Structure 1
Amino acid sequence: MNLQTLTKKELISKINDFNDHLNKLQSVDNVPGNTDNLDQVSQLGHILDTSLNEILIFDAETFRFVFVNESARSNLGYTSEEFYDMTPLDINSELTSESAQQLVEPLINAEKDRLNFETTLKRKDGTTYPVEVYLQMSRFNGRDVFLRNVIDVTERKKAEEALKISEERYRVIHDQSPIGICLVDKDLIITHTNNKMVEMFESTHDRVLGLDLKSLKDKSFVPIIAQAFHGKTGKTEDLYSATTSSAYKWLSVSSAPIRNTEGKVINAICVV
């Protein structure tokens, strides 16, 4: 299972499982001579160490790490021995002693049972990567600790940035297009329009957006737009008298359906 695809509810459930593991480790450790319990300790330790999540446990008083699993060691580039002399401040340049203490205060005071935040971690080689952190208190080897469950969100951030660039590219093309473009909903109301469309009708965005095509003074283009909601494309040319201005022009109008991922027509796009 790819843990980056887990829902927040599923992730919290896993964190609670890890917390239960720690409590069990604590309880079985106090029962001497119990081979089954020792086996359970080994099994639970293996679960934590081989988790795809980066799991870091640090002392609630000293903030020194007491356990770091293989995923975290591998990604951050430190050995277990090196981690035992480190604190979260050594891998997170955004944190200071004061801000770290303020961060965990709600957990210490039992105001919250867990915290969720995004930050940036720094590897041994100096490179950084974005993470989402789930932090909560627990008990480990007879002392209070913080359990830090970390998810590397590098790929998610890359996808978000790619989407942002794509949306910006679309916005520039849309706004600077030499042709008029508008979107119409199933009620034949204009929900979106670009600058060129407004310019062609010698009007304003405020007057064009929300315009009901059924109430137009000149409805000559309405039929080909309406047929888009039946899955058909259309094109026609005619003289057109604008409703929101005195414009009277010869226009060529094309329309086509816009479908969602299920294939259902949700809008009509009109190009003028």
Structure 2
Amino acid sequence: MMRAWVDHTEVGMGMAIADDNGRLFEQFFDSYLQELYIFHPTTLAFEAINRAARQNLGYIDEQLKRMTVADLVPEFILETFESLLQPLVRGDQEQVVIDTYIRRQDGSLYPGEVNIQLFGYNGEKHCLALINDLSKVEGLEDCLREKEMTLNAVMDAAQDAVIMLDGSGNVTYWNRAAEDLFGFSREEILGKELHNLITVEGWTAEVYGRAFREFQASGGGVLVGNIIEVTAKKKDGREVEVALSLSALKIQNSWHAIGIVRDISQQNQSKRELESSRQKYLDLAENAPIGILACDLEGNITFVNQRALDILGSPGSEETRKINLLTFPLLIKHGFSRNLAECLQKNTASSFELSYKSKWNRQVWLKVYTKPQISQGAAVGAQIIIDDISERKQLEEKLLNLSITDNLTEAYNRRYFIQRLEAEIDRNRRAGNPFSVIMADIDHFKTINDRLGHDRGDVALKKITSEMIRKIRKMDTLARWGGDEFMLLTAETTVEQAGVVAERIRGSLCDLNIPEVGIVTASFGVVAGYAGDTVDSIVQRVDGALYQAKSAGRNCVKLVDAFSLQPPEQRQSGQ
């Protein structure tokens, strides 16, 4: 990924550097989601650091530009790091990858994989470093290990022997039931070929080999998807009849087999074994970390575990069983009953998400899995798994807000405003709905920064934004356009109505006394959208209106008549 990014970036970078201001590259570099650093290969001083890196480190851009790589990587001194870069400088390698720890401003460390390459920047060779924050990866690895331990515990509790074979037919997994059935311990059997253990009655080694080669090539064949009865040989030489079921699983482009083996030599014990197995699975379900329910064809709850009760906020199993899953009004309202009915009628599994407020006033986002319970080819009920995904949904909403919001003022950002404006232009083109755009510029804002500092300037921007939001409708879109400029999109609004909105905001700002700053005024340009408009044409027009307001002495509103901007042939015809 690093290579592909750099290859693509170097082409775009060359084009951007050739441009006088390089804004395209700067925007791309700063908005890249992973941490990016540009530093000099000799001095190791930073030339540029993108927003993702600054946010993770806690430094501002000015601080980082006075620092070197050694300031962030405590285990390196300059000479050590320079020696690591020598293969790049000499051209012996295209990329250097280092696993290390990076120090944040607060002194905390996080693990990172540092990918470094050389590229041209401002006419010189510089180092471009991309850092993958491995702290999340380590957390994921811990989670995977925990799930693996859980899976092993479940598999060891299974009554049937579970065997897994690699692409060569060697045993790679052997659970406790397999040890009991065959007499071989895991240490004795792992790595051995399965056909050395199982004698397939009526098959020659050649037939077995041909069948397994077919499985290796396609993951199919007579061994897969069927239950076959074979004679297996125990460690002590005794034979036992077993039922063998094989499934295929593709891992790293190689087909692996998962075998479920059951002893069928003592049919008179099968009923007790099934009951024992059923009880173990019920115990697992009762204590599972996810909610599990079961119902019959009429929607009556036949099983519910403790986790499901917790998710729904239920006081107990008896109270929950009073609810019919197909007829309860709240479940019908949120679409749960419809999905469950389809599962029961069509014998198909499904999964869906819904925001649900339970009978006991518990508001929760649910991930729901429904699967029919089949007996003799027909559905007799359904199994339902519910998982509380409220935290995930809150995180998704937070991430969405971050992606469309200006992080200083909490107004929308420029990218989102353009999306909303494009949608409004399209709506106007299809239905003729009026809309207007207001552009505002804070008067003499630079003097606030120069006189009081950027901190007070930021406070002023926040106060001004809050006041503007207070004066507009929820359906309007206010965005920070850049610096001290704002854009406001007002749907279903003529230019005259938008002018009233702008005047209301202007007057409100005149009455706003910002602590340590005082009164701050603003100039406003107002235009209406019309057929044939584009984002660029509207922005150009409203910018012209704003210029008129500034030229008129600032602290005023200037409206541009859309008719005066129509093509000459339309004006002459009176359209």
Q: TM-score range by the shorter chain?
A: 0.5 to 0.7
Which amino acid letter does the alignment assign opposite residue 244 of structure 1?
K
Contact 1:255 1:270 (8 Å CA) reproduced: yes
1:216 lines up with 2:199 in the alignment = yes
Which amino acid letter does the alignment assign opposite residue 83 of structure 1?
L
Alignment partners' CA distance in 2, 1:207 and 1:69: 50
Instruction: Give, in angstroms, the shift of residue 58 of structure 1.
Output: 1.0
Q: 1:107 to 1:216 in 2, by over 3 A?
A: same
Contact 2:169 2:193 (8 Å CA) reproduced: no
Match of 2:408 in 1: none
Alignment partners' CA distance in 2, 1:148 and 1:98: 18
Instruction: Give, in angstroms, the shift of residue 88 of structure 1.
Output: 1.6
Alignment partners' CA distance in 1, 2:181 and 2:11: 66
Alignment partners' CA distance in 2, 1:23 and 1:189: 53
Match of 2:140 in 1: 159
1:38 lines up with 2:20 in the alignment = yes
SS at match of 1:57: strand
Instruction: Give, in angstroms, the shift of residue 162 of structure 1.
Output: 1.7
Alignment partners' CA distance in 2, 1:269 and 1:155: 36
Match of 1:118 in 2: 99
Match of 1:14 in 2: 5
Q: 1:242 to 1:65 in 2, by over 3 A?
A: same
Q: 1:185 to 1:19 in 2, by over 3 A?
A: closer
Q: Encode CA deviations 1:133-155: one digit per residue, 9 max, x unaligned.
A: 22112333344321112233443
SS at match of 2:236: coil
SS at match of 1:104: helix
Q: 1:98 to 1:267 in 2, by over 3 A?
A: same
Q: Encode CA deviations 1:87-141: one digit per residue, 9 max, x unaligned.
A: 1222223333333122111011111122234333222223333333221123333
Q: Normalising by structure 2, report the TM-score.
A: 0.35
Higher Rg: 2
Alignment partners' CA distance in 2, 1:103 and 1:208: 41
Greater Cα shift, 78-87 or 136-145: 136-145
Pick the aligned partner of 1:50 from 31, 38, 44. Answer: 31
SS at match of 1:45: helix
Runs of 5+ unmatched residues, structure 1: 1-7, 29-36, 220-226
Pick the aligned partner of 1:268 from 259, 262, 265. Answer: 259
1:67 lines up with 2:67 in the alignment = no
Q: Normalising by structure 1, report the TM-score.
A: 0.67
Q: 1:190 to 1:112 in 2, by over 3 A?
A: closer
Contact 1:182 1:190 (8 Å CA) reproduced: yes
Q: 1:189 to 1:98 in 2, by over 3 A?
A: closer
Describe how 1:92-107 pairs up with structure 2 within 5 A: 92-107=73-88
Equivalent residue pairs, number: 239
For the aligned residue pairs, the C-alpha RMSD in angstroms reads 4.0
Greater Cα shift, 50-59 or 126-135: 126-135
Which amino acid letter does the alignment assign opposite residue 231 of structure 1?
G
Instruction: Give, in angstroms, the shift of residue 245 of structure 1.
Output: 1.5
Q: Encode CA deviations 1:189-231: one digit per residue, 9 max, x unaligned.
A: 8664235533544445249932427963989xxxxxxx99453
Describe how 1:201-240 pairs up with structure 2 within 5 A: 201-203=182-184, 205-206=188-189, 209-212=192-195, 216=199, 229=223, 231-232=225-226
Match of 1:76 in 2: 57
Q: Answer 1 or 2: higher relative contact order, Cα 8 Å, separation at least 6.
A: 1
Alignment partners' CA distance in 2, 1:89 and 1:257: 56
Greater Cα shift, 14-23 or 240-249: 240-249
Which amino acid letter does the alignment assign opposite residue 16 of structure 1?
D
Alignment partners' CA distance in 1, 2:73 and 2:23: 30
Match of 1:34 in 2: none
Q: Encode CA deviations 1:149-178: one digit per residue, 9 max, x unaligned.
A: 223344333323322232244345656878
Match of 1:258 in 2: 247
Q: 1:217 to 1:58 in 2, by over 3 A?
A: closer
Pick the aligned partner of 1:135 from 110, 116, 120. Answer: 116
Q: Percent identity?
A: 20
Q: 1:89 to 1:187 in 2, by over 3 A?
A: closer
Contact 1:73 1:80 (8 Å CA) reproduced: yes
Alignment partners' CA distance in 1, 2:258 and 2:176: 19
Alignment partners' CA distance in 2, 1:136 and 1:98: 18
